[in-house]
Amino acid sequence: MQIKLTVNGKKYQRDASETKNLLHFLREDLGLTGTKEGCGAGECGACTVIMNGRTVNSCLILAVEADDCDIQTIEGEAKDGNLSELQQAFHKNHAVQCGFCTPGMIMSARALLQKTAKPSVEEIKEAIEGNFCRCTGYQQIIEAVQDASGQLKKKEGLRRA
Amino acid sequence: MLENTPRKDRRYVGKDVPKIDSIEKLTGQALYTGDLEFAGMLHGKVLRSPHAKAKIVKIDTTRAQQLAGVHAVLTGKDLDYRVGLYLVDKYILARETIRHFGEAVAAVAAETPAIAQQAVDLIEVEYEVMTPFLEPKKVFDKDAPLVHPDLGTYDYVQAVFTPIPGTNIANHTKLRKGDVNKAFKKADYIIEREYTNPNVQHVPMETHIAIGKWDVGDRITIHTSAQSPFTVRNLFAHSFKIPHCNIRVITPYLGGGFGGKAGIHLEPLCCCLSKMAGGRPVKIQATREEEFSLLPCRSGLTYHIKTGVKKNGKIVAQKMTMYWDAGAYADYAVNVTRASGFSASGPYEIENAWVDAYTVYTNKPFGTAYRGFGHVEFSWGVERHMNYVASQIGVDPLEFRRINALKAGSKTMTGEEIMKNTGNVTKCMEAVAESIKYGKLTAAEAAREKKTGRKIGKSVVALHKAPAMPPFTGTVMILKLNEDGSVTGSHALTDYGMGTYTSLAQIIADVLRWPIERIRLPIENDTDRDPYDWQTVASKGLLLSGNAAILAAKDLLDKCYDVAAQVLRAQKCDLDHDEEKVFVRHHPKSYVTYKQMAVGYAYPDGNAICGPIVGIGRYIAQGLSNLNKETGQGNPALDWTYGAHGLVVEVDPKTGEYTIIKVASAYDVGCVINEASVRGQAIGGMLQGLGTAMCEGYIYNDKGQLLNPSFTDNKIPTSLDIPEEIDCIAIETPQIDGPFGARGVGEHSMIAVCGALGNAIEQAVGAVLTHMPIRQEDVWRALSNKKTPGKVVRQSKAARTEKTADAEAVAKPRRGRPPKSAKAVAKTPKKRGRPAKAASAAAELAKPRRGRPPKAAKPADNTPKKRGRPPKAAKPADNTPKKRGRPPKAAKPADNAPKKRGRPAKAAKPAENTPKKRGRPAKAAKPAESKKVKRGRPTKAAKPVVGMPKKRGRPPKSPVINK
Amino acid sequence: MLQEFNYLAPKSKNELYAQLKKYSGKARILAGGTDILVELHNQWVAPEYLIDIKKIGDFQGISFDEDEGLSIGATTVCIDLIKDRNAKKHFPLLVDAAHRIGSPQLRNRATIGGNLCTASPCADMGCSLLALNASVEIGSEEGTRVIPLKEFFTGPKKTQIKKHEILQRIIVPAEMAGAKFGMQKLKRIKGHDIALVSVAMARTAKVMRVGIGSCGPTPVVTEDLPPRASLRAVVKAVKKVVSPIDDVRASKDYRLFMTRQFVEAIYPELFKRS
């Protein structure tokens, strides 16, 4: 089925298989492999993209449902080769370990900051609650989002004793 | 090495340097195995067994083979190859016998995943379902069905492991230090209890995936999400008898591993499908559900600890028996058993110690390496036990740990002497105790208790771990000087987020005195390009690879100095270097730049000397030895990293709901190379450990089928589950042979936090838990248990007569705050433990009952409740009459040795020297809870549903989820 | 997906009715997709047709009418219910319930109608809508019918909807507007999880009701209780309608215990002054 959609500001027109989900369509048909598959069942959030301004699990959406939609993926976060302030904050605050959850996590954080300029810690935790991370324990990710929104007063560190 | 380098000379080491591999991950440009496409690539799918144990009577793949788009179909009959790290017991696809739920029976390669799945669905298999063996503690039962009747024919590493053919024991690790029986006689108290935890899944965010290509001439290329490319190559070479140089293994970026990807898993199957498909590459990506049953997990453990202790708090003897529920194949589990065996007591000095650790085969998904390598599992028991013993003898649990902690001069269980520079576990405990204000409630905590009606509990626990690795583990780092004066490294340790490569770059930068931006360490590894590294496991990476990096950097500089000496006509001792050049120390204007010499130095007239510069650093573990198989004595430890946790929890005394308020963690890392990386490991591991403690665990029915094979019912912690407050502390007792004094900490953060939680909950509300996970329902149930597990014998007259108010008051599981001192306890009003009654005066839906715990639900099919023994396991499907007496004989050994008549070789007796009973084999150590076999109720040891949360009263009938 | 199916996206109710009649028994409805796509992923179902109803205007939107009450289009997603002005003002219990569903990503797609039609015993919207005495409008070529929600669920994952019918909207009666409320949900973790037990209570000047999820083959509701019914009476009424079981998530005993706990915790909230 022919679909038209905008991804990271670029318009696409493609013949999409009716049985393919949006995640596989982005990865296979558009070559945007940044978005990852972690479970295929809407639990882990690794496949999170922003669709019409809202985070969604792209594994639970058929490609054909994205007809006429506006999609943001991780590939659209950096502009002209420059990391966004959110990506820089993740980098600085060691919010990335294996990196598999990172694209989806950035999308959830991005959607939050698009809605709330200075989210509280509780709001940050809620916004990323649907993104599993097995490596970081989430704390440094929360600090990165605080930093990106200008709220990290003191950099948490490792104490020495 | 370089541990005495002054702080002022450490430009990068010890600082917070952003990870060198995070940008490509942040932009989505890092390529993981699943992002790779190759010309002609096919997709593989696997048919998995729905049974835990069965004979494969017939497989018909005709319809699958005929489906358009299918290029290869394989069954076990086609693949007579076995793999195994330490004990070669596993076929690539099941041959004749299924040994666990989810085991691979057949595989297909096709042009699309959908066609491959269709083909799998067309394969017809006829099974003869058999009785699975599911309970490790029954390993000594005479009629236990054998998981591997052919165990006696398998190759294995004889220097290290001891399988017992004719049984389900894949390995028996023994340790005998001192004289435990004599020492028990001198103890004032003998205290014993049993602790359990189920199988658990690693849950890397990227599931297992591999792409295999088998070209003509047996040239193999594998792209795989694997932690140890050289191990994949080595095991492949051994299994298929192909030269190592024909096999190339490439590991792109990895989406997590935690030990689950340490060995060899999907790679052989991908390659075999490729071979059948004429050399087309075949990709198999495990679904999340397959991750839970096709791929391996972490072994479960039943751990019985019996401690002899003096009333002054000194442990004099300890007997430890471990039954590892290792599942269907030995994989890493035999080594987990061994490594846990020598570490089994925790970081405490035990003069007389006896360990029997059994790797038990069961018909379940098999256990592999998992972060902590057995330590998370046994530390649960150790740290719960330390609190139990302390409470029984009237000593504060932290003080009890201080008394027994390993320190300089102590001897470990393997006879190794702890030195001043080994590390300081006491300092770790003090640091966390201070952080959580152990021993009292702060004003804020007291106010919180008052406001909410919930109770706050605190605990401090300690941990230790040495890398579990062969004594001859080594590694190599190569540094290649580039034309522009930068350097590119080549190394086969994998970095999947721990930050090891960033730390290595920091180390290299400080030795070279270069800006770190000029050092490139490619994350992707390639066995054709990179030199050997054993594996990325065991928290040995930073130490071994860090040393190799120092040696490589020094070697690189040495070669640069060689060139400079010749060009500048100077002796090397007169030279020095900075970030751009090598120069004569007393004439700095006399120099040669790295750029000038990188690929050979050319004089103005064109003469050239020296050639391209490469630095090589090789490092191998020093002074280690195997353990004596009879006594467990030896020197296995590259280093010991000690640590401690302090945990504060708030518990609802009515419902059992709890919230973790604070976790403080301290590790003696020797030297912090990268602050934020250490913190990241500390927090990430802590939460992964809390996942084990709070909500993770496989649940099986009595047929061995996995009931929770997805995230729906196998939960892991989310951002809402983290402690309210987290504190990470580093202690730096330098490791003399570590790079800048550093030692590893990758696994340690996971190890003891479970015990911390169990202890703090008990301290808060008196709920005694000896099984994980600790769900709030389990806390609730424990609160209403009148009888708590464990057995205490007051042996000495002093112990018996010293029933002072002090000892009595702490003998019971305590409610409320820990006692300030023994005397003070007598004056502290005792809080009695029953949870507050419900506000409702009248008909309540379910009162917590007195006496017998609540009965389990009636079974859905209204089968009349059976009294007495638990129901027997389901008969095999074809109604073959159950054979009485001896287990089926093992297959004849391949070399036609004369068949031994009579009973199969007896399994090693369990540790207790119980006099031999006729008729039945000597029973394994009973769980400490109860000696009486109660009428009407099944014995506690016999649990029909393995892995189900422990309940009192009649166990539920097997719940089966109907999809 | 690993299965083959045909995707249809009717633009009107009538087009949908015709397709439902034609493909009766061979089609499944695609609303938010958060249930059906999981079933497809796991290969639990293999429909020949997947009918996407999100383009049908009649099934969209939320409106409030002083006589009828709150009308929720079947394809309303949770986040839109959470943000809806009328829902927040008149039926905050529904906002609370919708907020407890899944993760943010799931709430951005899961529909209220889909949650009811999946008819899981633990449906979060089930117990809250039952407490508010909601009804559902079901349509087909033959016309529409409105039935009380408490008659809608007929068994685990089973509803009254016939193969040629569609759930069109949910009606929450005006007389429950402004009801005092409370909801509690028992989970295994603090992150998103299926309800092990959920209790939703609503009370107006005229009536009190308790809806309970995960304690029976369907979400259940007590009989209409007097607005000043004693806690004892409420607990008794709840006991009459629940029948929890043991499963891998929780035991029957604990479910019963926690149901009572939740009722006791919520009860005083129903009598607080605004």
C221-249 pLDDT per residue, tens: 999 999 999 999 999 999 999 999 999 99
In chain A, which segments carry CATH 3.10.20.30?
2-76
Residue B861 scores a pLDDT above 60 = no
Residues C222 and C189 reside in one and the same domain: yes
Peptide bond into B773 cis (omega under 30): yes
A160 and B CB contact within 8 Å: yes
Q: What is the reported pLDDT for B963?
A: 27
A69 and C CB contact within 8 Å: no
Contact between B846 and C253 using a beta-carbon 8 Å cutoff: yes
Question: Helices B675-694 and B375-393, interaxial angle, to 10°?
Answer: 70
User: What's the pLDDT tens digit per position in B675-691?
Assistant: 999 999 999 999 999 99
User: What's the pLDDT tens digit per position in B246-266?
Assistant: 999 999 999 999 999 999 999
Contact between B720 and A36 using a beta-carbon 8 Å cutoff: no
Question: CA of B839, closest CA in chain C: separation in Å?
Answer: 7
Residues C161 and C86 reside in one and the same domain: yes
Q: How far apart are CA B315 and CA B272, in angstroms?
A: 55
Question: CA of B713, closest CA in chain A: separation in Å?
Answer: 11
Contact between A129 and C7 using a beta-carbon 8 Å cutoff: no
Q: How far apart are CA B367 and CA B900, in angstroms?
A: 32
Host H or E run for residue B352? strand B352-361
Residue C147 lies in a domain: yes
List the one residue out of B124, B118, B125, B35 whose CA is nearest residue B69: B118
**Quick one: average pLDDT of B22-47?**
98
Of C6, C105, C192, the CB nearest to A48: C105
User: What's the pLDDT tens digit per position in B537-560?
Assistant: 999 999 999 999 999 999 999 999
Residue B936 scores a pLDDT above 80 = no
Identify all chain C residues contacting B775, using CB atoms and an 8 Å cutoff. 188
Confidence of residue B780 (pLDDT cuts 50, 70, 90): very high
Of B114, B688, B727, the CB nearest to A134: B688
**Quick one: average pLDDT of B653-671?**
98
Instruction: Supply B480's token pair.
Output: 């290649």
C219 and A CB contact within 8 Å: no
B69: left (phi over 0), alpha (psi -120 to 50) or beta: left
Q: How far apart are CA B163 and CA B148, in angstroms?
A: 11
CA atoms within 13 A on the CB side of B113: 13
Identify all chain A residues contacting C80, using CB atoms and an 8 Å cutoff. none
Mutation target for B interface from A23, A84, A135, A136: give the one with most B CBs within 10 A.
Answer: A135
Chain A residue whose CA is closest to C54: A65
For residues B248 and B220, the answer to whether their CB atoms sit within 8 Å is yes
Determine what percent of chain B is predicted with pLDDT higher than 70.
Answer: 83
Determine what percent of chain B is predicted with pLDDT higher than 90.
Answer: 80
Identify all chain B residues contacting C44, using CB atoms and an 8 Å cutoff. 963
Query: How many A×C Cβ pairs under 8 Å?
Result: 74
B485: left (phi over 0), alpha (psi -120 to 50) or beta: left
A128 and B CB contact within 8 Å: yes
Q: What is the reported pLDDT for B802?
A: 57
Indicate the SS3 state at residue B477. Answer: strand
Tell me how many domains chain C contains.
3
In the chain, the amino acid numbered C25 is: G
Chain C residue whose CA is closest to A41: C38
Residue C25 lies in a domain: yes
Residue B828 scores a pLDDT above 60 = no
Residue B815 scores a pLDDT above 60 = no
Residue B173 scores a pLDDT above 90 = yes
Question: CA of C250, closest CA in chain A: separation in Å?
Answer: 20
Q: What is the reported pLDDT for B788?
A: 86
Residues C198 and C101 reside in one and the same domain: no
Contact between C192 and A60 using a beta-carbon 8 Å cutoff: no
Q: What is the reported pLDDT for A156?
A: 72
Mutation target for C interface from B777, B778, B849, B855: give the one with most C CBs within 10 A.
Answer: B777
Confidence of residue A132 (pLDDT cuts 50, 70, 90): very high
**Quick one: average pLDDT of B451-468?**
97
Contact between B21 and A99 using a beta-carbon 8 Å cutoff: yes
Residues C69 and C171 reside in one and the same domain: yes
With contact defined as 3+ CB pairs under 8 Å, the chains touching C are A, B
Q: What is the reported pLDDT for B881?
A: 39
Q: What is the reported pLDDT for C273?
A: 83
Q: What is the reported pLDDT for B833?
A: 43
Identify all chain A residues contacting C54, using CB atoms and an 8 Å cutoff. 65
Architecture of the domain whose range is A2-76: Roll (3.10)
Q: How far apart are the first and last CA of chain B?
A: 59
Residues C204 and C134 reside in one and the same domain: no
Higher-pLDDT residue of B333, B917? B333
Residues C171 and C185 reside in one and the same domain: no
Residues C215 and C186 reside in one and the same domain: yes
Confidence of residue B673 (pLDDT cuts 50, 70, 90): very high
| Residues composing chain A | 161
Q: What is the reported pLDDT for B946?
A: 38
**Quick one: average pLDDT of B853-878?**
41
A17 and B CB contact within 8 Å: no
For residues B18 and B506, the answer to whether their CB atoms sit within 8 Å is no
Contact between C103 and A45 using a beta-carbon 8 Å cutoff: yes
Instruction: Supply B102's token pair.
Output: 């989810």
Q: Which range marks the domain in which residue C34 is found?
A: 6-52
C82 and A CB contact within 8 Å: no
Q: How far apart are the first and last CA of chain A?
A: 63
Q: Which CATH number covers residue C33?
A: 3.30.43.10
Q: What is the CATH number of domain A85-148?
A: 1.10.150.120
Identify all chain A residues contacting B672, using CB atoms and an 8 Å cutoff. 158, 160
- Mean model confidence pLDDT for chain B: 87
Which of C151, C175, C199 is the endpoint of a domain?
C175
Identify all chain B residues contacting C260, using CB atoms and an 8 Å cutoff. 838, 840, 844-846
Residue C274 lies in a domain: no
Residues C87 and C171 reside in one and the same domain: yes
Q: How is the beta sheet containing C62-65 ordered, strand by strand?
A: C62-65, C69-73, C166-173, C135-140, C143-148
Mutation target for A interface from C40, C103, C194: give the one with most A CBs within 10 A.
Answer: C103
Chain B residue whose CA is closest to C236: B843
In chain A, which segments carry CATH 1.10.150.120?
85-148
Of B34, B686, B732, the CB nearest to A137: B686
Residues C40 and C79 reside in one and the same domain: no
A158 and C CB contact within 8 Å: no
Identify all chain C residues contacting A55, using CB atoms and an 8 Å cutoff. 104-105, 108
User: What's the pLDDT tens digit per position in B716-739?
Assistant: 999 999 999 999 999 999 999 999
A87 and C CB contact within 8 Å: no
Beta B614-620 vs B575-577: how paired, if at all?
unpaired
Q: Which residues contact B350 (CB under 8 A, 6 or more apart)?
A: B177, B315, B317, B318, B404, B413
Residue C195 lies in a domain: yes
Identify all chain C residues contacting A61, using CB atoms and an 8 Å cutoff. 33, 37, 109
**Quick one: average pLDDT of B880-898?**
40
**Quick one: average pLDDT of B762-790?**
95
Determine what percent of chain C is predicted with pLDDT higher than 90.
Answer: 97
CA dihedral B72, B74, B78, B81 (to 10 degrees): 110
Q: Which CATH number covers residue C249?
A: 3.30.390.50
Q: What is the reported pLDDT for A58?
A: 98
Q: Which residues contact B896 (CB under 8 A, 6 or more apart)?
A: none
Residue B416 scores a pLDDT above 50 = yes
Residue C211 lies in a domain: yes
Of C189, C235, C249, the CB nearest to B845: C235
Q: Which CATH number covers residue C147?
A: 3.30.465.10
